[in-house]
Amino acid sequence: MQLSDSMFKKFDLDSTLTDSINKLINSGLKEEKLWEQFCLKVFPQIKNFSIHKEIHSFIFQNWDENEKGPAPWWIPTKDQQRNTNLYKFIQKTEKIKEQTYEELHRWSVDHYDQFWEDTIKLLNIKFQKPFSQMVGPKNNYEAPKWAPDAKLNIAESCFQKNDHDTAIIFQKENGELQKMTQGELKSFSFQIAASLKNEGFQKGDAIAIMMPMTIESVALYLGIILSGCVAVSIADSFSPQEIETRLRISKAKAIFTMDFMERASKKLPLYERVKEAKANKIYIIPLEKNNPPQLRNEDTLFYDFLRDQKLDEACPCDPKDMINILFSSGTTGEPKAIPWSHLTPIKSAMDGYFHQDIQEGNVVCWPTNLGWMMGPWLIFATLINRGILALYYGAPTNEEFGSFVEKAEVNVLGLVPSIVKAWKKSKCMEDKNWEHIKCFSSTGECSNAEDYSYLMYLANYKPVIEYCGGTEIGGGYITGTLLHNASPATFTTPTLGLDIELLDENNKPAQEGEAFIIPPSLGLSETLLNRDHHEVYFKNTKTSSNGRPLRRHGDQLEKTAGQFFKALGRADDTMNLGGIKISSAEIERTIGTLDWVHESAAIGVSPKGGGPSHLVIYAIANEEKTLKTEKEQLLKELSSVLKKDLNPLFKVSDLVLTDSLPRTSSNKVMRRVLRKNYSDK
């Protein structure tokens, strides 16, 4: 057995390399071990993803996906497994007799009280007064009483290292790499907390933050929590109307922002938008300290707000006291206002510890901001686990970001799929040395297997931990681990501490269907500020197989062979095309293989006269291609790839070329907005 001579000629491989490749192929190794050896011995000599893809296809040509699931692109070695937090926890947990991940997961669900108590000890969560029991009563699954009688301030658990240890590595656009120690971050955060008290803010007051992810925004977020106040998360991309809505719902008494933020050497206004939103009081951090903006009479510069004094200790709080008001990806009407308590970040930190394997001293980078849940998640999952935050102030799609990842020696790199798609198109990261990366993680939208095998290639084949969850979960509900094989765009397990059931349209258990969470779990929301929590998540849902009420979440998943899961998009983004149900995400993944489609959104539109839905594609496309090609030809190409790769009956009825797609603050495409816009045309 050997690769074809034509392939070697096509890629101009020398005879020595050709011989070593064929020798390895004929070594008798099984597919997984053979792929591992190629990653270790051959691919470092061949910096060409196209060759890697062909070799992968060749090695796994007889792989039975119907029996084993998708072919892996990363297989953990025994040493890699032994070095994980998960492996070490399994080995020392006496309650797990067989010492397998599967048994650990089952135990964490069946004995959730003991699991969370053990996790709290493992993470060294600081309590000012200990809880009398982990949870009680145990039969209240919708709103269990976690850690009764306890007092804590979760921000204190973010300062667990020595004060001289690095807490944050950061870099401004076109700037130098800088560092902030834990002592400096802690001092800054407590200074902000004292300054808030000095301004007259009291425990429970809501204070908004609308800023990019900077050392100031991290310290502000922690300082607000240390003072006993409540941070209100507002994305820095929001319009004045969206800002005003969130300020009103949260009853925020003030907001911290910047006059401008810098992206690609452009100054984007923030203060002007917040003023237009009629905020009560605004504290402004100027982009250029020596060039502050003109202020309203009621507004204050951040450096005038700061006082020299510091709080002696963090404000003691009940476990259920709010620390953060975040907003869901609302697409119609007002967004859901979801409060986080002092216990919610324990879920974030647990996920980071077990699933992303964040260890002490690990450098964690995830382009995000405090406007959606991954901003707070990043702070808690990194700092509680004694890691180092890596913050790059510019756009993550440019080459300088890749250099930052290299220089900061990032170990865990989190992304959204649109960033990876941009890298693949520009090839701007292919010369970077990302040897320190041990895993990627991905959330925000459905990923593309082709793009994510390319992402793994950029770091000499490190795994992608897919991570799907929500603001109302405090983290993920389905993900992966460094103990499992990694196949791009797939999940391998529900997160520890909870389980899921998939139900079809008849509410019957299925291999493909809507995902429902089996509660309880620390981190799951128990109240909403502007909705009936029971009605949103529990009304008219079934009881799970273990007797607990199912909690609605709204994602469509498919469970494949080999115990893998694939995301199929939101349940409300499932279309019926000619009697065939299919998700928007699956269509978008398929047409994304066309080189002229940069990004897309697929929607089903009901014709005004009734009848089957029409498939409409919104696309951000290659301008040169679309200028030269008639729309009818573009439609034919779209329909052709769908007919070929999905179903011969599928046809694209219309194509709308656009410069951008409407997205929520958590980067999800708002297809309902597109449907409404199209129907209103």
| 520 upstream amide cis, omega within 30 of 0 | yes
294 assigned to some structural domain: yes
Mean residue pLDDT of the chain comes to 92
Range of the domain at 302: 154-556
Predicted confidence band at 675 (pLDDT cuts at 50, 70, 90)?
confident
Q: What is the pLDDT of residue 578?
A: 67
Q: 157 — phi, psi (to 5°)? A: -75, -5
pLDDT of residue 330: 43
What phi and psi values does residue 341 have, to the nearest 5 degrees? -105, 180
Let me know if residue 112 belongs to a domain. Answer: no
Tell me the mean pLDDT in the region 368-395. 96
390 in the same domain as 273: yes
pLDDT of residue 1: 53
pLDDT at 459 > cutoff 50: yes
Answer yes or no: is 570 within a domain.
Answer: no
Cα separation, 578 vs 614, whole angstroms: 9
**Are 488 and 589 in a shared domain?**
no
Looking at the structure, tell me whether residues 270 and 321 fall in a common domain: yes
Q: Is residue 567 part of a domain?
A: no
Lowest mean pLDDT among 50-54, 126-130, 166-170: 50-54
Q: In this predicted structure, what is the pLDDT of residue 375?
A: 96
Which band of pLDDT confidence, cut at 50, 70 and 90, is reported for residue 193?
Answer: very high
Higher pLDDT, 413 or 6: 413
Q: Is the pLDDT of residue 374 over 60?
A: yes
Q: What is the pLDDT of residue 605?
A: 85
Q: Return d(Cα 226, Cα 220) in angstroms, integer.
A: 10
Domain-ending residue, one of 556, 587, 619: 556
- Decide if pLDDT at 329 tops 60: no
Model pLDDT, residue 273: 94
Q: Per the domain annotation, does 142 fall within a domain?
A: no
**Alpha helices (runs of H) in 491-583, residue ranges in sequence order:** 533-537
Whether 479 and 604 share a structural domain: no
3-state secondary structure of 316: coil
Position 332 confidence tier, pLDDT thresholds 50, 70, 90: very low
Model confidence pLDDT, tens digit, residues 257-268? 999 998 888 899
Residues 644, 639: Cα–Cα separation, whole Å: 8
Q: How many domains does the chain fold into?
A: 3
337 and 244 share a domain?
yes
pLDDT > 90 in the chain, percent: 73
Please state, in angstroms and rounded to a whole number, the distance separating the CA atoms of residues 634 and 57.
Answer: 29
Let me know whether 540 and 583 are in one domain.
Answer: no
Q: What is the mean pLDDT of residues 344-368?
A: 98
- Specify the CATH number for the domain of residue 244: 3.40.50.12780
pLDDT of residue 601: 93
CA distances in angstroms from 191 to 210, 291, 434, 514, listed in the order given:
20, 24, 37, 47
Q: Which of 436, 574, 227 is nearest to 219 (CA)?
A: 227
Same domain, 526 and 666: no
Q: Report residue 75 CA to chain centroid gap.
A: 23
For residue 378, pLDDT over 90 is answered with yes
Contact 38, 55 (CB under 8 A): yes
Helix (H) or strand (E) holding 466: strand 464-466
The better pLDDT of the pair 455, 625 is held by 455
CA dist 342 and 339 (Å) reads 10
Q: Based on the domain organization, do 652 and 617 belong to the same domain?
A: yes
Give the gyration radius of the chain's Cα atoms. Answer: 25
Of the residues 35, 54, 73, the one at which a domain ends: 54
Render pLDDT for 462-474 as a digit per residue (tens, 0 to 9).
999 999 999 999 9
State yes or no: pLDDT of 252 exceeds 70. Answer: yes
Query: CATH code at 633?
Result: 3.30.300.30
Q: What is the pLDDT of residue 331?
A: 35
Per-residue pLDDT reduced to its tens digit, 130-173? 999 999 877 789 999 999 999 999 999 999 999 999 999 999 99
Burial class of residue 263, CB neighbours in 10 A (0-12, 13-18, 19+): middle
Same domain, 466 and 584: no
Which among 365, 340, 411, 421 has a CA at the least distance from the CA of 155?
340
Same domain, 488 and 536: yes
Q: Give yes or no: residues 607 and 479 share one domain.
A: no
Confidence of residue 9 (pLDDT cuts 50, 70, 90): low
Lowest mean pLDDT among 72-76, 111-115, 245-249, 564-568: 564-568
Per-residue pLDDT of 594-606, as tens digits, reads: 999 999 999 988 7
Gap between the Cα atoms of 249 and 239, Å rounded: 16
Last residue of a domain, one of 505, 524, 556: 556
pLDDT digits (tens, 9 = 90+) for 404-431: 999 999 999 999 988 998 999 999 999 9
Q: Which range among 36-50, 323-337, 467-481, 662-676 shows the weakest confidence by mean pLDDT?
A: 323-337
Mean pLDDT calculated for residue range 93-119:
91
Co-location of 431 and 287 in the same domain: yes
Res. 445: pLDDT tops 90: no
Residue 4: pLDDT band (50, 70, 90) is low
DSSP string for residues in 278-299:
T-S-EEEE-SSTTSPPP--TT-
pLDDT tens-place string over residues 538-585? 999 999 888 899 999 988 899 998 889 998 877 777 777 766 767 788
